[in-house]
Amino acid sequence: MEDIIVDDKRKITEVDENYSFVSNNKLTQFERELVINYCEYDKVWVAETSIPKFWRRFEKKGWICTRTQYYADGTVCSKTFTSGNSKGISITNPNKTRVLTDEQKAAAAERFRTRWQKVDMSDEEVDNDE
């Protein structure tokens, strides 16, 4: 992927080392990706993603955005993040499921029941005020 592109109307140049422009053609769903690398020497995780769902998650979790790439129309194409330390990613078993005991299931059912009763009561109060 090129960092600088020549548009039909004007030449686009880098604004800052953290920002660059890429192709006019937007990435399709099949082309978008998330790439995560670990640098053992620096002890940091580096993630580059063109999927908005993941760059919002990285921003929410406090990862540092080190580079943003834009399309020629100004919309964001991809972002690169760094964790700042070695604790950025944890690898878990994707097949593990949580098994609840009967007591835990009953307690959860009771919490849901009381929550929905509160919602139903608030609806009745609104109806009575009319």
pLDDT tens per residue across span 52-85: 999 999 999 999 999 998 888 888 899 999 998 8
The domains of the chain are located at: 19-82, 96-130
**pTM score, whole prediction:** 0.59
* CB 76, CB 69: distance < 8 Å: yes
Give the angle 13-18-19 at the CA atoms, nearest 5°. 40
- Identify the DSSP state of 15: S
> How far is Cα 21 from Cα 70, in angstroms, rounded to an integer?
5
Q: Name the residue with higher pLDDT: 127 or 89.
A: 89
pLDDT of 18 reads 55
Give me 37's structure tokens: 């690398």
Which residues are within 8 A (CB) of 33 and not within 5 positions of it... i.e. 6 or more apart? 49, 50, 51
Region of poorest pLDDT, from 86-90, 97-101, 105-109: 86-90
> How far is Cα 99 from Cα 84, in angstroms, rounded to an integer?
35
DSSP calls for 14-31: -SBTTEEE--SSPPPTTT
